[in-house]
Structures are given as structure tokens and as C-alpha cells.
Copies of this chain bind each other. A is one copy, B any other.
Amino acid sequence: MTEQVPGKVDMNKLVSLCKRRGFIFPSSEIYGGLGACYDYGPLGVELKNNVKKAWWKAAVQERDDMVGLDASILMHPQTWVASGHVEGFADPLVECKQCHQRWRADHIKDGKCPACGGELTEPRMFNLMFKTFVGPVEDEASVVYLRPETAQGIFVNFQNVLNSTRRKLPFGIAQMGKSFRNEITTGNFIFRMREFEQMEIEYFVKPGTDEQWFKHWVEQRFNWYTNLGIKKENLRLRQHAKDELAHYARDCYDIEYLFPIGWSELEGIANRTDFDLKQHSKYSGKDLSYFDEETKEHIIPYVIEPSAGVDRSVLAFLADSYDEERDKEGLRMILRLHYALAPIKAAVLPLSRNEKLLPLSKEIYNTLRSCWMVQYDDAQSIGRRYRRQDEIGTPFCITIDFQSLEDRQVTVRERDKMRQIRMPIEVLKATLEAKLCGEPLDVLPPGGKKWLGFE
């Protein structure tokens, strides 16, 4: 861990919570771990999938002008020649002659090994793509790479998508999936991993309209994070300086988040111009132009690329939602995750393990889990069970007591408001649905609005 921003949750505390409650484990931990790889546990996989679902909903489902794609990780090696990755996707590497640790030369400050102060070798360029071999012979002809970005899977499918969907400009293609980078320096938990997941959009526009669409996407993507609960003061935009821009980019903004390790990139939005389609057209010999029915011209579209990291988003959502409260029972840890992201939407908690409470509790549990991830917990005191749910960000706790058997009402406790309201079981599902999905209130059954403070 490199530094710690005052006022933000301590990174080690987050790592520890993640392991203890089953969000994130070090990969292959029983064998000592594999550097910069992590596994998502039972709660982590739900959180990560919810982040991906929220992105897909905003990027594809709710837009007129977007379609999805899921290209393979292994691609034809010529893809990476055309994209410039074989030639240029490399970092300068130096090695300490004394302790043999390796470093990125551009991260070295005084020319000496940061670990032992030893002398360093001359820098050599090290390509960050993982390579492997297809077929039984391990020679140059059989080399393929694990994709270092999902973007190129979109560009090589541009004509296939165009032909199969009859789209007109402007339109975009969205993709989520694993990418791999053989980083020299890794670390800071899931912030920089060798195996990571991306959520990328390539949005194709007519040249000349690219600046306006670039602004649109910077705004859209910034709002996506705040709509899902990230505090505005923890987000900022940073425009790349001219000398910092990638060779293909005309303009680029980073959306930065105030991680526990400091302000760092969460997402980049780049104007990639017509670079990629032109390169792939040149290297494949295929026509990747778009026929404009209005002007009767063939054009190569410009591309705006919002490129987000799934794992970094997960880390940001965790760090931003982490909260502590001290009351008479001690320290209360709460993940104030947006309801759409919370791994468990509701917990069903019979007041005790008394057998009489079992049938009704299970009935409610079964009804709710046909819609959402729901936990059933009857171990230990109700107070401890509330805390266990707070710690993993569960929005609603539903308690069944002996009175419930008489009046078929249950107590619903809302994580953030800490109030407890009694409501009839028959309105429970519709009320939770309205709260969880932000549904318009008229879907609530008669009398439902008053539950949980809608009225």
C-alpha cells in the first residue's frame, strides 16, 4: 500500500473486511497467492455482477443507439499488430543488479533501486501482453496474445455488427470482459491487477460531430457513478495534457476517484478518431467504411471510447460506501451501497429459533428470493444479526416475531434510516420492489405508499 488519504477508509481495513465477509480473496491463497490476481467470494461476485448489470442497463438496455458484444479473449495476432500493441504496448524495465527486483524505469526517481539502493540495469522495453501458443508447436507462428483491452474485439467486429443490426451513425457497441496485462509493478489490492475486467464502449460518430459526442459521454459516465451513490466530492475530471495523450487520441479525460491511495483513474474517455478502423482496414485489406445514405459517401467513423474498470469500480463503490458509527453497543460498520449494488437485498430474521416462527419465516424467505438475493439468518441475537447485515450493505432486514403469527405483520428495518416499520406481509414484496427498483409509486398495492415512508 503506497499511501493513505486522511478521512478515507484505511485500505487494510477494507482488505480485511473483504476477506472476512467473503467479498474478495487473494487468488490461489493456499499456495501463497498469485501476484496481483484476486478471486471474488460469495458476496463479491454478487456485488461485481450488480456493477456490471447497472453498467449494461445504462450503456445498452436504456439507450436507442447502443448494442452489446462479447468477443473472445484470444484474437488473431494480426489484431495487435494493427492496433499498435505489438510495437508499442511496452514499459521500460530496469532490474536491480544487487537484489534483482524489477521496476518501471519511469517510476524511478534517483536512478537507484527503491528497495535496496543498488545499481540498476539499463532500461529495456518490455511488452505487457501475455502470450501463449495455439496448437502443439511453441514457435512464432503459433503465438497468440491474451487481449490487453476489450476494445479491439469491437473494432474487428464493426462490419459484422453493422450488417446484422442495420444501425445508422451515431451508434455504439458495448462490451464487458476480462483483459490481461503483464504489469511490472502491481498492487494496491484490486486497483491494479494482471487479470482484470473492463466495461468498454466504442461509440461511432460522423467526423465533425466527435467533439459534441465526446462531451456527451464524459457527462454520461460521470453521472453514472454519482447516480449509483459515489459522492461528488470524491470524483473529478482530469484532461490529459497534449504530451500525455496516446498516439491515436485527439482528446482524453480521466474520471478520477479519491481512492484510499489518493486520486487515481477510474475510467478514461478518449476521442480515438478514425485511427483504429483505418488501421484494421489497412492490415486486413477489408473495407471498414460506413455508407452514408444522405451524402452517398463512404466514410470512416470517428470513435469516442468510454473505458471503465469493473474491479476499480467495485473498489470505489466499497471505499465510498464504507461508514462507521459508534453507539452504546460499540462500533457499527456499514456499507452504504446503492440498493442496486447491494449483494443481498434483504435478510429474513426470525426473532428466535423457536420452531413456531419457522414456517412463516421460510414462507417469506421463499417469496422474496424468487426475485432477489436474500439471506436467512437465525443465529445469535437480533442485534448481532442486524450488524452482520449492515456490514455487508443489506438494505432491508425483515424480522418475524410471535405477533407476526397473529397479525401477519412483520418489522422492516431500513439500513440507512434505521427506522423500523411494521407492515402487512401481503404488501412486503411490492413495497421492497418499489424501494429497490425506484419504481413509480403507483405500482404499490392499496395502502402501500405509507409503508417505509413513501407518504
A280 within 8 A of B: yes
What distance in Å separates the Cβ of A251 from its nearest Cβ neighbour in chain B?
27
Inside 8 A of A379's CB, which chain B residues have their CB?
Answer: 166
Binary contact track A33-49/B, C-beta < 8 Å → 1, others 0 = 11101111111111010
Stretch at the interface among A16-24, A227-235, A301-309: A16-24
A170 within 8 A of B: no
If the complex has contacts A78-B31, A102-B136, are A21 and B164 also in contact, measured as CB distance less than 8 A?
yes
B72 touches A195 (CB 8 A): yes
Binary contact track A48-92/B, C-beta < 8 Å → 1, others 0 = 100000000000111010011111111110110000000000000
Instruction: Decide if the interface of chain A is mainly helix, strand, loop or mixed.
Output: mixed
A102 touches B135 (CB 8 A): yes
A373 within 8 A of B: yes
Inside 8 A of A136's CB, which chain B residues have their CB?
Answer: 93, 102, 126, 182, 184
Binary contact track A356-372/B, C-beta < 8 Å → 1, others 0 = 00000000000001101
A352 within 8 A of B: no
Inside 8 A of A164's CB, which chain B residues have their CB?
Answer: 19-22, 41-43
Instruction: Give the A interface residue count (CB, 8 A).
Output: 83
B160 touches A29 (CB 8 A): yes
Inside 8 A of A372's CB, which chain B residues have their CB?
Answer: 61
A135 touches B182 (CB 8 A): yes
Inside 8 A of A373's CB, which chain B residues have their CB?
Answer: 60-61
If the complex has contacts A21-B164, A71-B39, A157-B25, are A30 and B280 also in contact, measured as CB distance less than 8 A?
yes
Binary contact track A246-271/B, C-beta < 8 Å → 1, others 0 = 00000000000000000000000000
A286 within 8 A of B: yes
A37 touches B68 (CB 8 A): no
A30 touches B102 (CB 8 A): no
Binary contact track A412-455/B, C-beta < 8 Å → 1, others 0 = 00000000000000000010000000000001000000000000
Inside 8 A of A410's CB, which chain B residues have their CB?
Answer: none
Q: Which partner residue on chain B sits nearest A164 by CB separation? A: B22
CA distance A379 to B165 in the complex (A): 12
In the complex, which of the residues B28, B44, B153 contacts A70, with contact meaning CB atoms closer than 8 Å?
B44
CA distance A286 to B369 in the complex (A): 35
CA distance A324 to B27 in the complex (A): 49
A161 within 8 A of B: yes
A159 within 8 A of B: yes
Q: Which partner residue on chain B sits nearest A44 by CB separation? A: B70
Q: 10 pairs across A/B with beta carbons < 8 Å?
A: A19-B160, A25-B160, A29-B160, A30-B156, A30-B159, A34-B76, A39-B71, A41-B160, A61-B373, A132-B146
Q: Across the A-B interface, give the 4 residue pairs with the lowest CB-CB distance, nearest first.
A: A22-B164, A28-B76, A42-B67, A31-B76
